[in-house]
Amino acid sequence: MMTELGSCVLRARGLCMDYGRGEARVRAVDEVTLEVACGESVAIVGPSGCGKSSLLYLLGGLERPTAGTLWLAGEQLDHMPEARLARVRRHATGFVFQAFHLVDELTALENIELPVLLAGGSPSAASRRAHELLEQVGLSDRARHLPSELSGGQRQRVAIARALANKPAVVLADEPTGNLDSAAAADVMRLFDQLHVDGQTLVIVTHDRQIAATADRLASMRDGAFVEETRPAEGAARTLSAMTGLRR
């Protein structure tokens, strides 16, 4: 699968991922090749257990491929030492998880500050950036709230803000609306749509056809491999609001 867009942020070739050993070995990702250009939005869809999440974790450097090569933001990840891989994760990727994975005892603001602090940023810089992002996701008034005091949709918006904290080259989202009701899911979809419009590179694993339809490209997976790619006709890239009539 090759992109026709400009400079490439993410490039995977022949990526494989096996779990288990011997007869129990299962191939979760099978010879996946993918290029994602800067500012592009790619949705990966497929049935449960087809290897979507495994691929996403591989692309973000959270798992190591069994075979294949992977380039992210100009660096080859597949054989990179763990400490350097951590640095790449710190600066080049932002993760959004289905289960949000906010730190329970930290407020919304502190959760967003966390990646900046882990990257060595000063407390004041982290706070400044977190306030900007809270405003961007529409939760300025929830800065001092703990995750337990936020709704599911609000938690996921905080998680998205956290993913953006270090201005990553690519945001990787794993079923970002999977744990949300339809209203909250719509909020989150709007946010991703806005990020896309703003030029943020996105790779989203989703079951949600509506989210998938907003992407520049849609890759379908089955049994660990890409089986189909669909792309909206040139000039017809649809924003979520255009598709669904939802108001921003």
Partner 1 sequence: MGRMLLISRLVIGDIRRRWVQSLLLVVMVLTTTTTLTLALTLHHASQNPFARTRAATKGPDFVAENGPAPGSGDPSPSQFAPLMHAHGVQATAGPFPVAFTRLTASGIDVPVDAEGRDIGPSPVDQPLLTAGHWVSAGGAVIEQGLAEALGLHVGDTISLGGHRFRVVGIALTTARPFYPASSPGLVWLTSSDAKSLATPAEPLGYVLDIKMAPHAPLHALDAPSQAFATSSGVPSSVEDWQGIRADDYRVIALDQKVLLVGSWLLAMLAIASIAVVVGGRMAEQTRRVGLLKAVGGTPKFVGGVLLAQNVVLALGAAIIGLGAGTLLAPTLGSPGNGLLGAATSPSPTLGSAAFVMGVAVAVAVAATLAPAVRGARMSTLRALGDAAHAPRRRARVIALSAALPVSMLLSLRLIARRTRRTVLTAASLMIAVTMVVAALAVQRSLQTHQSHAAAGFLASSAIYQSANHVLVILSVLLGILAAISATFTAWATVIDTQIATALARALGATPRQVGAGITTAQLLPGLVAACVGIPAGLMLYQLAGGNLNDAMPPMLWLLAVIPGTLIAVAAATAIPARIGARRPVAGILRAE
Residues of the shown chain interacting with partner 1 in the complex, contacts defined by CB under 8 A = 53-54, 57, 60, 62-63, 82-83, 86-87, 89-91, 95, 97, 99, 101, 103-106, 110, 113-115, 117-120, 122-123, 126, 146, 148, 162, 166
124 vs 182, which CB is nearer to partner 1?
A: 124
41 vs 166, which CB is nearer to partner 1?
A: 166
**Nearest distance from C-beta of residue 82 to partner 1, angstroms:** 5
Q: Could you give the residue ranges of the DSSP H alpha helices within the chain? A: 52-59, 82-92, 108-118, 123-136, 152-163, 182-197, 209-213, 240-244
**Nearest distance from C-beta of residue 227 to partner 1, angstroms:** 23
78 vs 110, which CB is nearer to partner 1?
A: 110
Residues with Cβ within 8 Å of residue 44, at least 6 apart in sequence: 52, 55, 56, 203, 204, 205, 206, 219, 220, 221
Dihedral (CA of 115, 121, 127, 128) sign: negative
114 vs 246, which CB is nearer to partner 1?
A: 114
**Nearest distance from C-beta of residue 213 to partner 1, angstroms:** 26
**Nearest distance from C-beta of residue 198 to partner 1, angstroms:** 22
**Nearest distance from C-beta of residue 157 to partner 1, angstroms:** 17
89 vs 157, which CB is nearer to partner 1?
A: 89
Contact predicate 193/241, CB 8 Å? yes
